Chains A and B, each alone.
Chain A
Amino acid sequence: MNNWLNQHIQTLKLVLSRMRNNMLSTFMICLVIGVAMCLPSLFYLAVDNLSKLTEHMQKDTEISLFLKVDINPDAIKKIEQQLAKNQDIQRFHLVTKEEAWQQLQVKSKSNQDVNDAVSQLGKNPLPDAFFIQAKSSDPDSLIQLKDTLQHLPNVELALLNTEWVKRLSSLLNLGKKLISMIAGLLAIVLLVIIGNTVRMQILTQKDEIEVSNLIGATRSFIRMPFLYAGALYGLFGGLLAVLMLVGMIQAFNLSMSQIAHLYSNDFSLTLFDAQLFLTVMMSAIGIGWVGSYIAVSRAIASYKIN
């Protein structure tokens, strides 16, 4: 056991010292891996956060129920009772035409043109309205609820604006499929790159492999340093990818905070997405290992005795 561990440590030291001797080319390889891992991760981050945002929006979706302008207070009471009885509704509130009118006047003060237009109106053109929040955020049940409310007496218009949310979420699903395709393609590219790099190393260490083979090294012994090299390329590449991701998220958050402020929304990306980073690292290491395994197995097979 101790021997076994020792052998691995020795090999790791050997591989690390080789990498140190070829610092620049090692860095280049890791950079390629890093960038290749970075691309699908960024795409994933974008889609993931967008879908979180839409979920958030879907929850906020209100049904606006505009009542007829000439409705009397009794009829409003009646509708209110009906809304209170409806199981699908979480909460609702009434904005009377007077309140709405006041709000409009207050809000329009800052804008001269609108203010002029409002004051020229003279009388209140706004209807009474209920703003309703449903229990479910599922677009289909929202539409059903909207239809029921539309058919209540004295209701002028029930308004639900979920169409775009629906379209966006189906677009996001498409995006998720695209990510897995791009990630798959890049994984193949990485396999080829790492395999090729290890193949070049095998060429420069052909003598060592040949001599080791002649003096009784097992295949796993010969393979070990190359597997370590591949896995280390993956590890360093993955680390670079994570660093780049953190940098980009940080930069994005900085500019996003200004935009979000304008929309009075404190939306920002999580800086340390542990799950994503772990996935990036593990898949980089795994791809490195597999790539070098393929390369070194092919090389050993070509030195095989007859």
Chain B
Amino acid sequence: MIQFDKVTKRYPGSDEILKNISFNIDAGEFVFLTGHSGAGKSTLLKLIAATERPTSGTVLIANQNVNQLKPSAIPFLRRRFGLIFQDHKLLYDRNCFENVILPLRINGITGQEAAKRVRAALDKVGLLNKEKAMPITLSGGEQQRLAIARAVVSRPSILLADEPTGNLDASYAADIMAIFYAFNQVGVTVIMSTHDALGMSARQNRVMHINQGSLTEHLLKESHVDQALSSIERSTS
């Protein structure tokens, strides 16, 4: 589904953010992307979503080489993704319903069909009763859930989430994680960046760790989680 081959990314006037990275993500996987702030997690997600282009190497999304795509083809590539940002990027000049319907408008879906899908998406994230509310009146967790509803309403095959729980407290974060797992269960590929994957997963997940631009991979096991949790408990008690 997503293939990186010797991808290097450098911004003008900076060091290499990502060095010679290769990996392969299959359809239906749930992948955590970890690393310190500034390690290049967001950059990697941007490369997948084709909002950035690699300095060298190739990025293949569904067997399409992003480098060789015409600018006019990129919007259609992006429609395969549901993007969730740490700062939500909600539009505060319209209510929840109007926020969620935006991707459908872009896809040319309107009318009853669109309304039905918006309500289904809002229902999935538990915001069906806030349809008419303005985003500014929602709590941080609700805003993030609204952003998720917007990301999934067009039924993308890949969800890209950039630190979706970064600004939330533990109980909200657990809600959000549960939503992501639910989508993964119905076959959606989820790629999620976070700086503390250990604290939020109770399952076996693939973890890609970025450190100083290089990638290391391991499987997150329940035992790790238990260790991590107990270490957190020790440090907090």
Binding site for B on A (CB under 8 A): 3-4, 6-7, 10, 207-208, 210-219, 221, 304-306
Are A212 and B89 interface neighbours, CB within 8 A?
no
A4 contacts across to B, CB distance below 8 A:
108
Q: Within 8 Å of chain A (Cβ to Cβ): is B161?
A: no
Contact status of A217 and B110, CB under 8 A, knowing A305-B50, A306-B52: no
A-facing residues in B89-109 (Cβ within 8 Å)? 89, 91-93, 102-103, 105-109
Distance, CA A219 to CA B106, complexed state (A): 11
Contact status of A7 and B105, CB under 8 A, knowing A207-B91, A215-B83: yes
| Closest-CB distance, B237 to chain A (whole angstroms) | 42
Are A218 and B111 interface neighbours, CB within 8 A?
no
| Closest-CB distance, B193 to chain A (whole angstroms) | 16
| Closest-CB distance, A204 to chain B (whole angstroms) | 8
| Closest-CB distance, B46 to chain A (whole angstroms) | 9
Binds A, one of B72-80, B173-181, B228-236: B72-80
The contact sample of 29 A-B pairs, CB cut-off 8 A, is A3-B108, A3-B109, A6-B111, A7-B110, A10-B105, A10-B110, A207-B89, A208-B93, A212-B106, A213-B75, A214-B78, A214-B89, A215-B103, A215-B106, A215-B150, A215-B151, A216-B75, A216-B76, A216-B81, A216-B103, A218-B72, A218-B106, A219-B75, A305-B50, A305-B51, A305-B52, A305-B53, A306-B52, A306-B53
Number of interface residues of B (CB under 8 A): 31
Chain B's closest residue to A305 (CB) is B51
| Closest-CB distance, B165 to chain A (whole angstroms) | 20
A214 contacts across to B, CB distance below 8 A:
49, 51, 78, 83, 89
Of A3, A207, A305, the residue contacting B110 (CB under 8 A) is A3
A217 contacts across to B, CB distance below 8 A:
75, 106
A304 contacts across to B, CB distance below 8 A:
71
Known: A3-B110, A216-B81; 9 extra A-B contacts, CB below 8 A, are: A6-B108, A7-B108, A207-B92, A208-B91, A214-B78, A216-B78, A216-B103, A218-B106, A305-B74
| Closest-CB distance, A76 to chain B (whole angstroms) | 88
Binding site for A on B (CB under 8 A): 49-53, 71-72, 74-79, 81, 83, 89, 91-93, 102-103, 105-111, 150-151, 154
A211 contacts across to B, CB distance below 8 A:
89, 91, 102
How many residue pairs link A and B with beta carbons under 8 A? The number is 66
Do most interface residues of chain A lie in helix, strand or loop, or is the interface mixed? helix
Distance, CA A215 to CA B159, complexed state (A): 12
Distance, CA A261 to CA B108, complexed state (A): 64
Chain A's closest residue to B150 (CB) is A215
| Closest-CB distance, B110 to chain A (whole angstroms) | 5
**A-B pairs with lowest CB-CB distance, top 10:** A216-B78, A216-B79, A217-B106, A218-B75, A216-B75, A6-B110, A3-B108, A215-B103, A305-B51, A211-B89
B93 contacts across to A, CB distance below 8 A:
208
